[in-house]
Chain A
Amino acid sequence: MSSKRSAAPLFAALGDATRLRLLGRLAGGPLSITRLSEGTGVTRQAITRHLHALGRVGLVRHARRGRERVWDLNRKRLEHAKRYLDQISAQWDDAAERLRAFVED
């Protein structure tokens, strides 16, 4: 993983329905590409490409489990992305309440 990944477009990597689904499945624990492809209607090759796209921004990592290669979620990375929006979301809640007090007087 390159040290430049801190500046990588993490949110852009998330902006894809298949990738979001992959992250959702990995939320349950590490899985192989075969398992991740099951029931998706998407080829293994396409799944692999999506996993590498997520890997480039540090959202997933691969590891060996016995003879199998599995992919796992980098939870810390995902938390960071979400926490940023939570922060700004809370600021808008505050601003909306100040506006309420201002116009409802």
Chain B
Amino acid sequence: MAVQTPTPNDTMTTDRIEKRVVLRAPRSRVWRALSNAQEFGTWFRVKLDGAFTPGKPIRGKMAIPGYEHLTIELLIERIDPEHYFSYRWHPYAIDPAVDYSAEPTTLVEFTLADVDGGTELTIVESGFDRIPLARRAEAFRMNDNGWTGQIKHLAKYVE
């Protein structure tokens, strides 16, 4: 997988979110936390039964306070041991009354690399340009945190 140039959070991106963090832990440790469904569930806060298998869906109840009524489903795409793990899902699928299954999914990718003092993890979620706008509007309803001023960032980015 080609690792893309990091994108600062304050620039206009339309299709993808990218996060890059250095974890002070060996790659094998980070890999287990990503690829073992129960360990993944511990930090991601979802109660998953079973194992991650490429091509197979895995479901579980969210374990985030206030969101316990939600079931999420991950469709596992690819597992390259100690290096790369990816799944598809429905981002921000927070309304239990809505059937999201017919909607486009986004792709979530985790990539690991050795760096001084630990492991660099890159998380990329992409495919947002295919998500219907009506669905994206739900996110604003949930948390209206006063986003302003981004037009200037956009101008800086595109000029």
Contact = CB atoms under 8 A, between A and B. Distances in A.
Interface stretch (A30-38, A44-52, A60-68, A94-102): A94-102
A42 B23 CA distance: 46
Interface string B128-150: 11111110110110110101101
Contacts of A57: 133
Contacts of A10: 133
A84 B13 CA distance: 11
Contact of A99 (B23, B142, B145): B23
A7 to B, nearest CB: 5
Interface in A82-102: 82-89, 92-93, 95-96, 98-102
Nearest to A11: B129
A84 B139 contact: yes
Contacts of A11: 14-15, 128-131, 133
Given A14-B14, A73-B151, A82-B12, A96 B139 contact: no
A103 B140 contact: no
Contacts of A81: 14, 133, 136
A103 B33 contact: yes
Contact of A104 (B25, B39, B132, B140): B25
A9 interface: yes
A78 B154 contact: yes
Interface string A8-44: 1111101100001101110110000000000000000
Interface residues of B, number: 48
Contacts of A103: 23, 25, 29-30, 33
B154 A83 contact: no
Given A15-B15, A78-B151, A89-B17, A21 B158 contact: yes
A26 B140 CA distance: 24
Given A85-B128, A86-B147, A98-B44, A15 B14 contact: yes
Nearest to A79: B147
Closest 5 CB pairs of A and B: A24-B158, A11-B129, A27-B155, A84-B136, A103-B25
